[in-house]
A and B are shown apart, each in its own frame.
Chain A
Amino acid sequence: MIVSRDASGAAGATAATAATEATEATQDHPLVRLALLTLVVAVFALLIALPLAVVLTGAFRHGVAAYVQRVTDPLTLSALRLTLVVVAVAVPVNIAFGLGAAWAIGKFDFPGRSALVTLIDLPFAVSPVISGLAFVLLFGGRSAIGPWLVAHNIRIVFATPGIVLATVFVTFPFVARELIPVFEARGTIDEEAAIVSGASGWQTFWRVTLPSARWALLSGVALAVARAAGEFGAVSVVSGHIRGRTNTLPLHVEVLYDSYDSTGAFAVASLLVAVALPTLVVRWAIEWREESVARGGRVRDDSAAQIASAEAA
């Protein structure tokens, strides 16, 4: 017994030295680290931080009073109202759809499943301008159902419903994409246990499936909100640019910019930045949480290993 323990100890020590050497060999040279890090920070400053700074300085260039005046302009406020309506309709629709699609794809296997995954991603790959065009072709005056819509006085294109539809389309993948990997990874064991224990399908979904994915859901919703508030190309095609009526905030930015009111454009843009930054904070907080959970999990595994080795001894 004693001999074998000594041998294993020696082997452990050798392994440890080898590991240290290997770790050194897998580290970049300090100068390389410094160079790469500097490069990344420089690119980051130029490509990402500078645009953010430009928006904020542009917005406040003529002082706080000018900023407040631009932001409380009636046209800005009506654009803000429309954007809020669009977000309030499009995001819940996509939560419902995303949950349904991710549940079907993540928990079940059926023919055409991988094709469906590709389809869900399609709005990401298609130009927003084409997405908008698609809705104009579907519901516009020259489409098959266009005359019927006109006869019944239903306006979709160049009105709020069209803007909402186009937004739902472009934000379609966000919730589903975040949920599918989580549902797939969790498998169906928990659900089976719930069903066997006598839960109804609905109870199982609300109490077992949904809570397991709540952080992924939150992350997807945050992205969908940011994109819904900020969509430009698709909405630009279907809106018809009627100021005060079918202008969303991003479209209003363009209108102001094109009329050489750059302070106004940046002031409205800063409102949109205020939507985008919380999205990043939410995603960042979720990642932070996941990492600490993973670390906590590892600690527990270690203690389990210790208990196991203690028992073995």
Chain B
Amino acid sequence: MFVLIPLSTVLLTAWTLSPDRFWAAVGSPRAVASYRLSFGASLAAALANTVLGVLFAWVLVRYRFPGRRALDALVDLPFALPTAVSGIALTAIYAPTGPVGRIMRFPIAFTPLGVTIALVFIGLPFVVRAVAPVLAEMGTSAEEASAVLGATRWQTVTRVTLPMLFPAILTGTALAFARALGEYGSVVFIAGNMPMRTEIAPLLIMTKLDEYDYAGATAVASVLLVGSLAVLLILNRLQALAGARAGMRAAA
């Protein structure tokens, strides 16, 4: 109830707006540009996180090296660190005067690339934490079987290990995407927030609120909310589907 009432209030309020006002707020070029940036950067970051997250999970679970436990604990840092802190730290690093921004020929902070980097930072633990336990639980027996049957290491990894990890990877990527879509604190500082260029949808909501345009804020929020809910629903269906397939295979 505590969860449902506030969220349904947003949708209900959006519903009570007159259609003209709703579409004017939702379809304005500035709003459309913000959705494009939010969805595009989130998707790019989620895909980058898929690759990096699987890599991190693989190294953390399969390899033994000094400092592994410390690395394992610190991977959760983006999750535990307040987003405003991440935001100012990332901006300081990638700004033209920062340690990384200085050596780059092209600007990173205050561009869509900067937004994407912040979202990669925020999303990484989601994929690692989704994949690592499954990888650890899985063990190596299927890989051993595959090797005994004459498969090369590459074949084993791409045809046996990765397909077995697929549901976990999908979950992690979807969670990272959902989180990136709504992320605010770590992005506002590095984005530069230029309308039409580097203004993410959550910031547009914030700007409209600061202008006391509650109707406009609610309209944009409803678009973003429906987007996040769609990600959750698709993820749920896919998981149910994967579960059913695994069950069928077990029955067969």
Contacts and interface: CB of A to CB of B under 8 A. Distances in A.
A273 B59 CA distance: 26
Interface in B51-70: 52, 55-56, 58-59, 62-63, 65, 69
Interface string B174-210: 0100110111110001000000000001110110010
A48 B100 CA distance: 14
A55 interface: yes
A178 interface: no
B83 A250 contact: yes
Given A126-B225, A269-B88, A134 B6 contact: yes
B214 A137 contact: yes
Contact of A262 (B7, B58, B92, B236): B92
Interface stretch (A16-24, A188-196, A301-309): A16-24
B147 interface: yes
A54 to B, nearest CB: 5
Interface of B: 2-7, 9-10, 13, 52, 55-56, 58-59, 62-63, 65, 69, 71-86, 88-90, 92-93, 98-100, 120-121, 124, 140, 143-145, 147-148, 153, 156, 175, 178-179, 181-185, 189, 201-203, 205-206, 209, 214, 217-218, 221, 224-225, 228-229, 231-232, 236
A41 to B, nearest CB: 8
Given A250-B85, A257-B88, A127 B80 contact: no
Interface in A102-129: 118-129
A280 interface: yes
Contact of B221 (A21, A97, A130, A284): A130
A250 B178 contact: no
A50 B100 CA distance: 10
21 contacts: A26-B144, A29-B153, A37-B63, A43-B55, A47-B124, A48-B77, A50-B99, A51-B89, A54-B89, A119-B3, A120-B3, A125-B229, A126-B7, A126-B182, A126-B225, A127-B201, A130-B205, A137-B9, A237-B206, A253-B82, A269-B84
A47 B90 CA distance: 9
A19 B148 CA distance: 9
Nearest to B121: A47
Interface of A is mostly: helix
Contacts of B120: 47
Interface string A123-143: 111111111011111101010
A46 B100 CA distance: 9
A290 to B, nearest CB: 12
Interface size class on chain A is 35 or more
A36 B58 contact: yes
B65 A137 contact: no
A44 B73 CA distance: 12
A250 B80 contact: no
Contact of A253 (B78, B85, B175, B203): B85
A232 B55 contact: no
Given A54-B92, A137-B9, A279-B80, A40 B205 contact: no
Interface stretch (A5-13, A70-78, A223-231): A223-231
A127 B59 CA distance: 31
Nearest to B8: A134
Contact of B84 (A25, A120, A253): A253
B143 A26 contact: yes
Contacts of A287: 72-73
Contacts of B6: 131, 134-135, 137-138, 169
Nearest to A49: B74
Given A127-B205, A129-B206, 8 more contacts: A47-B120, A118-B232, A133-B209, A134-B10, A230-B84, A236-B185, A249-B82, A253-B88
Contacts of A293: none
A85 interface: no
A165 to B, nearest CB: 9
Instruction: Among A40, A51, A230, A269, find the residue whose CB has the most chain B CB atoms closer than 10 A.
Output: A51
Contacts of A48: 74-75, 77-78, 121, 124
A83 to B, nearest CB: 10
A162 B80 CA distance: 23
Nearest to B10: A134
B34 to A, nearest CB: 12
A36 B59 contact: yes
A127 B202 CA distance: 7
B184 to A, nearest CB: 4
A281 B74 CA distance: 9
A262 B89 CA distance: 10
Contact of A22 (B71, B82, B147): B147
A311 interface: no
A125 B182 contact: yes
